[in-house]
């Protein structure tokens, strides 16, 4: 049997992965109709908004949607119609870490994946290629196949593929335009290989064939977890070294630069910070921990768990340093936190280090002002409510102010904490900030972003992560 020609694609889930990925597929494949479906009416309305007020911020995404929407890119809440018409279906739903039950705090919650799979089986009346796009534990495709086969209509066949995303938020569109690799996992049967070739044919419209890797289903699923775990491991490694630098008077920038010059190591992901965040790193490592424990590999589980523990330690260590530097108390003191997103060039706040820092500052009864150029005010309140579940929102609002500009956030504060590496924080008029702050004026750079010496000349007392005070 030859690979089918994909003419219609449906993506279930219009979030951070499904939205940008399928928008780019539509842009690069004008001959394929791409429909992104989601039960969340408000989210679909935002994707369809006349003024292009999209539900997520990602550089370059707006231009992609403007060109393809209405031509061959559609957003809808009619999930069943999308499934019925599609040759190929991406399952791109949320797989958060479980909050209760077996594996709570570690295992992925596959409820949405199962619901989407059951819906496909219930609705489909013709053969479909079903592609897991969500980050899932190893062998999830097996569960999906069991559900599809048990519930399929007579004469209907489903082929399962794994096609994990390797996008970095902030550069997702660039990553999609020119990926390092596209990974497609399939069963090694003839039908599996044909399905794999059909999806590879879609990507081949713009991705060089040597960058399209076809592997076994289980290798594909594990590769995604492995890639994120190893990237996070590098961040935790350099952050562990940053603590040694602070204690010895070494400079983590210089150490990382020297280490990164080794071609075996390379320079990427060697930038010390207040800690990693985002929807993937912590979730995927905890998933790997749970998988290792389930497979009776406790030493392997402990190894990967330490990557997350080091990340939590780095955040605690930084917030303690703020308190220690401000004469061992921040009660009643005003602290400006610049940045709330987990990294620059995204509005995503999931697992953001800023949330942990602010929670720690509030527990010390400080007054906090927050500024972020992209995060919605409503999202900040939601995240703080979740971080402080026993504190009513009205109570939180008495201690927290959200500002419209960085300058406004810094006014009358005793300390400025840089929590996200937005470029605009480098261009702040620090002379004006200094004039408007209480003295002594402190700056805590958790992202190695500002020129500490220039700020010291203005009069600031500057603490930079990974730099010791010894000469």
In this structure, how many other beta carbons lie within 10 angstroms of the beta carbon of residue 124? 22
Record the tokens describing residue 324, joined without a space. 């220690």
Record the tokens describing residue 454, joined without a space. 């220039």
CA–CA distance from 72 to each of 20, 277, 365 (Å)? 14, 34, 53
DSSP tally for the chain: helices H, then strands E: 18, 14
- HSE-CB at 172 with a 13 A cutoff on CA atoms is 28
| Residue 224 appears among annotated catalytic residues | yes
DSSP string, 54-85: -SS--TTHHHHHHHHBTTTEEEES-HHHHHHH
Helix (H, G, I), strand (E, B) or coil at 426: coil
404: which DSSP letter? S
Nearest to 96 by CA among 109, 111, 114, 115: 109
Q: At what angle are helices 353-363 and 298-325 packed, to 10 degrees?
A: 50
Helix (H, G, I), strand (E, B) or coil at 388: coil
Residues 196, 280, 410, 421: which is the catalytic one? 280
| Residue 221 appears among annotated catalytic residues | no
Residues 98, 224, 343, 374: which is the catalytic one? 224
In this structure, how many other beta carbons lie within 10 angstroms of the beta carbon of residue 371? 24
Nearest to 443 by CA among 466, 468, 424, 418: 418
CB 370 within 8 A of CB 403: yes
Residues 132, 165, 414, 421: which is the catalytic one? 165
Instruction: Say which residue the tokens 């049967």 belong to.
Output: 189
| Residue 165 appears among annotated catalytic residues | yes
Burial class (CB in 10 A: 0-12, 13-18, 19+), 29: buried
What does DSSP say about strands 73-76 and 182-186: parallel, antiparallel, or unpaired? Answer: unpaired
Give the C-alpha separation, 75 to 44, whole Å: 6
Burial class (CB in 10 A: 0-12, 13-18, 19+), 391: middle
Helix (H, G, I), strand (E, B) or coil at 423: helix
Q: Which residues are tagged catalytic? A: 165, 224, 280
């Amino acid at each position: 049997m030859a690979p089918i020609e994909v003419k219609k694609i449906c993506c279930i889930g219009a979030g951070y992965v499904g939205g940008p990925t399928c928008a780019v597929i539509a842009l690069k494949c004008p001959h394929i109709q791409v429909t992104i479906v989601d039960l969340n009416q408000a989210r679909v309305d935002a994707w369809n908004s006349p003024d292009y007020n999209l539900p997520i911020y990602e550089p370059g995404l707006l231009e992609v949607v403007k060109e393809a929407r209405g031509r061959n890119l559609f957003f809808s809440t009619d999930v069943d119609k999308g499934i019925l018409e599609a040759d190929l279906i991406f399952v791109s739903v949320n797989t958060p870490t479980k909050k209760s039950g077996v594996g709570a705090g570690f295992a992925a919650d596959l409820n949405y994946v199962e619901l989407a799979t059951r819906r496909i089986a219930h609705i489909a009346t013709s053969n479909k290629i079903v592609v897991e796009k969500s980050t899932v534990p190893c062998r999830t495709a097996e569960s999906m196949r069991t559900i599809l086969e048990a519930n399929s209509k007579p004469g209907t066949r489903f082929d399962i593929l794994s096609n994990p995303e390797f996008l970095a938020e902030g550069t997702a569109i660039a990553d999609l335009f020119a990926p390092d690799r596209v990974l497609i996992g399939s069963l090694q049967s003839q039908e599996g290989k044909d399905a794999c070739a059909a999806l590879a044919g879609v990507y081949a419209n713009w991705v060089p064939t040597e960058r399209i890797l076809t592997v076994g289903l289980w290798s594909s699923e594990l590769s995604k977890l492995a890639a994120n775990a190893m990237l996070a491991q590098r961040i935790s490694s350099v952050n562990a070294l940053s603590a040694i630098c602070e204690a010895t008077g070494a400079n983590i920038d210089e150490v990382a630069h020297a280490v990164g010059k080794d071609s075996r190591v390379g320079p990427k992901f060697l930038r010390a910070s207040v800690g990693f965040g985002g929807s993937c790193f912590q979730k995927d490592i905890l998933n790997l921990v749970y998988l290792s424990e389930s497979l009776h590999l406790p030493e392997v589980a402990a190894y990967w768990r330490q990557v997350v523990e080091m990340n939590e330690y780095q955040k605690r260590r930084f917030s303690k340093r703020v308190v220690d530097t401000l004469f061992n108390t921040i009660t009643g003191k005003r602290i400006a936190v610049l940045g709330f997103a987990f990294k620059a060039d995204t509005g995503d706040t999931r697992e953001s280090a800023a949330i942990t820092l602010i929670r720690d500052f509030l527990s010390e009864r400080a007054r906090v002002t927050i500024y972020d150029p992209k995060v919605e005010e409503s999202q900040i309140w939601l995240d703080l409510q979740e971080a402080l579940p026993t504190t009513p929102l009205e109570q939180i609002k008495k201690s927290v102010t959200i500002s419209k500009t960085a300058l406004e956030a810094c006014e009358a504060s005793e300390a400025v904490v840089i929590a996200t590496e937005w470029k605009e924080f480098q261009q702040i008029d620090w002379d004006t900030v200094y004039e408007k702050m209480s003295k002594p004026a402190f700056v805590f750079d958790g992202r190695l972003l500002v020129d500490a010496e220039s700020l010291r000349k203005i009069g600031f007392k500057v603490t930079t992560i990974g730099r010791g005070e010894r000469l």
